[in-house]
Amino acid sequence: MKTITTSELELAMKKETPVLIDVREIFEYNSGHVPGAINIPLSELEQRYEEIPNNSYIICQSGARSMQACHYLQLNGLDVINISGGTSSWAGELEY
């Protein structure tokens, strides 16, 4: 499983507009998320995984749920990137 840090994500976001999926629950997402992140909670992933394109970046609060999500998505044929450290290690401003 490919994993990058939030610093590496920030660099990637300066070069392109990656698809960033936040797998935290809705209330967590609404309390602040990385700019541009799309919320698809882990609890809804099984029903909504087809909305996620290849090469998406997957983030949660610390990296544990995003790792679970990446594992599930890979089993379903998607190539995705886990963000270690999650939203809690994001140094930039959060969106609300």
Q: How far is residue 8 CA from its own chain's centroid?
A: 13
Phi, psi of 63 (to 5 degrees): 120, -15
Catalytic-residue membership of 70: no
Active-site residue, selected from the candidate residues 20, 34, 52, 60: 60
Using CA atoms, how far residue 88 sits from 57, 63, 64, 93, in Å, is 16, 9, 12, 11
Q: Which residues are catalytically annotated?
A: 60
